[in-house]
Amino acid sequence: MEIVGFFFVLTAQIDDLLEQDLLFMRLALDNARVAEALDEVPIGAVVVFEGQVIATGYNRTRLDLDPTAHAEIVALRAAAKVLGNYRLLGTTLYSTVEPCAMCGGALVWGRVSRLVYGAQDERAGAAGSVLQVCANPLLNHRMEVKGGVMAEECRAIMQDFFRRKRAISAEG
């Protein structure tokens, strides 16, 4: 009977984690929409610590004229300021798209505990699609990685953005 109780607790924790992942990925998608409205590549990120959002970000490379201003980097910088520490132990970063090598490296150096992303990046993904930076056993830090959360929605916003860009480019 005690074992059955244990399984109920475990199931409830898993359901809560799935619900959390969906909630925070929706917030990351909201940030991606902000980037899209600013004519930036629509990628959003959210950093969560102890169940609370402590930072958000969206791509700002064109706005800031900064090739490092990816959504994940923007969110990590803000989270470090909130926590008063560049080591972001115990945090989860949610990103609408699989991080690139630069962002994956920042997650490793920041000691992020968990990465949750939506769509795979089959050209530049560094959480397993092209490279494995985030959970590489040769590096000094590895994090739990979960991909595919709201993947269709995350992929769709990117595809729609680039489809519109190509159509505009073809027109003139």
The residues assigned a catalytic role are 72
CB 48 within 8 A of CB 94: yes
Strand partners, 65: none
Question: Tokens standing for 51?
Answer: 């169940």
Residue type at 22? Answer: L
Classify residue 139 by its DSSP letter: S
**Phi-psi region for residue 128, left (φ > 0), alpha (ψ -120 to 50) or beta?**
left
